[in-house]
Chains A and B, each alone.
Chain A
């Protein structure tokens, strides 16, 4: 009986929330972003690109603070190109330079984080500076404050990412598995790497709205790592990551609404729980 009334209460609270446009926006955008970010998880994890994702999210933070200082109404217009350019540069430095990949990424990510905070401090006219910083880093409420234009932009970008992924699915697989072989047999591996870098940048800028700059990597990496505990081929892992990611995002948003917790960290917490569950299942499957 008790459980039943509890359930009804939850449903009433949720449906009351669905009346609000911003909650519906948050759900649509949340699902789309979760979908995109999980697609590239395997590639990022296996190509040792996870750090690039992390570095880029800091770049995006720096760009956002500049956009805030310039008083831009739509900070996408600045953040997206800056992040894409940095993604391409980071990929280049990974290949051949004196500063090795890891160090270059660490340099850029810490550097932009510091500069970003500095600029926010120096130029921001906001009265609640630490609140602003917290929102950008942890996305505490940003998913719930999207306006209609931003929802459209997120939607279109997500669909573009999904379309590009589907079109280049086999190439992305091959370039991740063995770049040298592809280049040697006449496939334009460099071009596909470039496409990958651009998609990663777009995903990161999108995901910033959902979980904030610091937690993006979690959104990208956890679903892929979870599915890799159980599935053993690329297609199954990719499909499973998408499902895990979307389910975790939905659960996270629901829990955040019900318990008034920050959306981003709740989603990540659900992802961690998912990862633990998949690891257990993987262990049991191996024993059996």
Chain B
């Protein structure tokens, strides 16, 4: 199959299975992109997610653009992006036509309580894989714990009254991703100079 068609169809399929937002896409991506298609490694997927979180736009779409363009340049990026939004767009257009009856359906509500529990478990399995691939030594353990603490605090705790602006900045994904990238740069150069000094 032509790579463009393959990219478009693969991401159309992924888009159709993406229940519960960008993070729910991770288990599906690990299966489709890493295991089946071998378009990226698990580590590269983590890289794309990191970039997708600190650039504008929807994480799921950003990750699709990234993988597509790594496979087949600009056209590949466009093909993957169009693929991932196709089914959600069509579905919403259908639902928009009879919105209230869909939302009021008790069966839909029950089904989604089940799906949410399932998605929680699937994301947990993906996070464990990611953790093993990316947190391997003391510096990365410290980065992991610090970022998790700040991000979780931002999600779960109310901002302190006087420091709302500062709080919002230091708990935002953009800030955390940028600081972690800079930390990586500093840690690696310190490690290199220590090694160089010894030799």
Mutual binders A and B:
no
Q: Which residues in B have some Cβ–Cβ distance to A below 8 Å?
A: none
Q: Which residues in A have some Cβ–Cβ distance to B below 8 Å?
A: none
